[in-house]
Amino acid sequence: MIAWWMWFVLGLLLLLVEFLSTGGFYLFFFGIGALAVALIGALGIHLPLRVELLLFLALSLASLALLRKRLRLRFERNGAEKEIDQLEDETAVALEEIAVDAVGKAELRGTVWNVRNAGGRVISRAERCRVMRVEGLTLWIAPY
C-alpha cells in the first residue's frame, strides 16, 4: 500500500508536466487516475499495492480511451481554425488596386493576405472591404 498523499503528489506532478509540455494530451489522464486512487486512500479505504496499481492503470487507460478524443476536439475548436472561420464579415484594407475577380493583397488584423475581388467593381488602394468568405489562405472580398 502506498500512502494516499503519495498518489496525490504523483497526480499533481503528472498534471503539471502535462500543462507545461506540448505533448499529445496523455499525462493528464494518468494524473487524474493517480488523484482518483489518492481520493480512495484519503477516504480510508486501504487496498493492497497490487490493487492500487491495477486501479490506477484501469482508471487512467479507461479515461484515456473514452475521453481523450472528445476533449481534444473541444480544445481544438477554440484554436486557430475557429478564428479563420470567423474572418467572414471582417473589414480588410486593400494594399493595391484590385480588378474584378483579380487577386491582390489586403491587410486584415495586422497581417497581409492574398485576396480575390468578389465584388462588382474595382477596389482601389487603401479602400475598406468586407470579407465575404475564406478559401484556404485566400480571402474573397468585396467593397462596401
- Structural domains for the chain: 4-78 (no CATH), 88-143 (2.40.50.140)
- Phi then psi for residue 143, to 5 deg, are -70, 155
**Residue-level pLDDT at 71:** 85
**Residue-level pLDDT at 25:** 84
| CA distance readout (Å), 76 to 57, 66, 115 | 27, 17, 26
| DSSP string computed for 95-134 | SS-B-TT-EEEEEETTEEEEEEE-SSSPBPTT-EEEEEEE
- Phi then psi for residue 104, to 5 deg, are -155, -160
Nearest CA among 8, 9, 27 for reference residue 17: 27
- The reply to whether the predicted model has a pTM over 0.75 is no
Output the tens digit of pLDDT for each of the chain's 144 residues: 689 999 999 999 999 999 888 777 899 999 999 999 999 999 999 999 999 999 999 999 999 999 998 888 777 655 555 455 588 999 999 999 999 999 999 999 889 999 999 999 999 999 999 999 999 899 999 998
| DSSP string computed for 24-78 | -S-HHHHHHHHHHHHHHHHTT----HHHHHHHHHHHHHHHHHHHHHHHHHHHHHT
